């Protein structure tokens, strides 16, 4: 059965819903390339860990309102972006209501199962961003150990996986255990934001080490380049005490 697609607007923001109260995407109408939802901003926190021109390539699984895609295309135009979305009507809604850019040499969109795509395609990516949920906030095969292992195989030597986890779900801690197993403990989960979403990162290839001072400097540089302000994210990480010795090691 196909999912119902609903569009709503409030105070200059347009929202995407899959037949429920859960918000699946949002766009500030006057600034369509901005990341309106807190968790989408934090999914871009990988930009704190690497300097430009990283990422040169990105795989986005789960299109939603196209927020991640629009940010990448607007602020990192040299990045080659591959999108995989399982529901054709989500793609149609993103094009009609959420200013999704047209496909070109740097943007390709495939309709299909994201987990199958990762297994079946040999291409490797600097950044894999996973944000796939159904109308009941279930991730299905996109939250399994085989999928995370397959993602690790598709990352470059500077590769990062970013996953949006619904932190209020009873399966949240099991999701973290699967990521820990898939990435040999080279992962970090940010403290949950107001919506209850938790963004987790898994690293492959070359080791990454950052102290809080370097993360703050990277945050300021990122804000200058793109307008994306992750200073609050860095402060929340510090307050949560989740970085042993005040250092992020991936």
Q: Which two three-digit tokens encode residue 179?
A: 């990521």
0.85 exceeded by pTM: yes
Label residue 170 by pLDDT band (50, 70, 90).
low
107-111: strand order across its sheet: 107-111, 80-85, 57-61, 125-130, 155-166, 197-203, 187-189
How confident is the model at residue 134, as a pLDDT?
A: 55
Q: Is 143 an annotated catalytic residue?
A: no
Q: Is residue 31 in some structural domain?
A: no
Average pLDDT, the chain: 91
CATH assignment of the domain containing 183: 3.40.50.150
Q: Is residue 104 in some structural domain?
A: yes
How confident is the model at residue 139, as a pLDDT?
A: 61
- Any residues with CB less than 8 A from the CB of 80 and at least 6 apart, and which? 56, 57, 58, 105, 106, 107, 108
Q: Is residue 14 in some structural domain?
A: no
Could you read off the pLDDT of 156-169 as tens digits, one per residue?
A: 999 999 999 875 55
Number of domains in the chain: 1
| Confidence check: pLDDT of 241 > 90 | no
How confident is the model at residue 234, as a pLDDT?
A: 93
Q: Is residue 107 in some structural domain?
A: yes
Considering 131, 184, 185, 194, which one is annotated as catalytic? 131
Q: Which domain holds residue 154?
A: 37-249
Q: CA 163, CA 151: separation in Å to the nearest integer? A: 11
Mean pLDDT across the stretch 204-210? 92
Q: CA 234, CA 217: separation in Å to the nearest integer? A: 10
Task: Tell how far CA 198 is from the center of its chain.
Answer: 11
Greater pLDDT, 38 or 239: 38
Mean pLDDT across the stretch 152-180? 88
């Amino acid at each position: 059965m196909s999912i119902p697609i609903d569009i709503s607007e409030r105070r200059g923001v347009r929202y995407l819903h899959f037949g429920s109260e859960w918000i699946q995407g949002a766009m500030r109408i006057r600034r369509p390339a901005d990341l309106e939802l807190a968790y989408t901003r934090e999914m871009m926190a990988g930009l704190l860990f690497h300097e430009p021109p990283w990422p040169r390539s990105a795989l986005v699984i789960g299109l939603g309102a196209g927020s991640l895609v629009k940010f990448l295309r607007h602020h990192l135009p040299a990045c080659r972006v591959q999108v995989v979305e399982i529901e054709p009507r989500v793609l149609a809604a993103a094009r009609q209501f959420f200013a999704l850019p047209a496909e070109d040499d740097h943007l390709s969109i495939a309709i299909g199962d994201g987990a199958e795509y990762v297994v079946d395609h040999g291409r490797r990516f600097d950044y894999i961003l996973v944000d796939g949920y159904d109308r009941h906030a279930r991730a299905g095969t996109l939250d399994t150990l085989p999928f995370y292992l397959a993602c690790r195989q598709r990352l470059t030597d500077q590769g990062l996986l970013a996953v949006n986890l619904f932190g209020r779900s009873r399966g949240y801690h099991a999701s973290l255990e699967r990521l820990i197993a898939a990435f040999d403990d080279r992962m970090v989960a940010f403290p949950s934001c107001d919506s209850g979403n938790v963004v987790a990162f898994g690293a492959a290839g070359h080791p990454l080490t950052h102290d809080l001072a370097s993360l703050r400097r990277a945050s300021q540089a990122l804000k200058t380049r793109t307008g994306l302000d992750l200073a609050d994210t860095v402060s929340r990480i510090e307050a949560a005490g989740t970085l042993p010795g005040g250092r992020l090691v991936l």
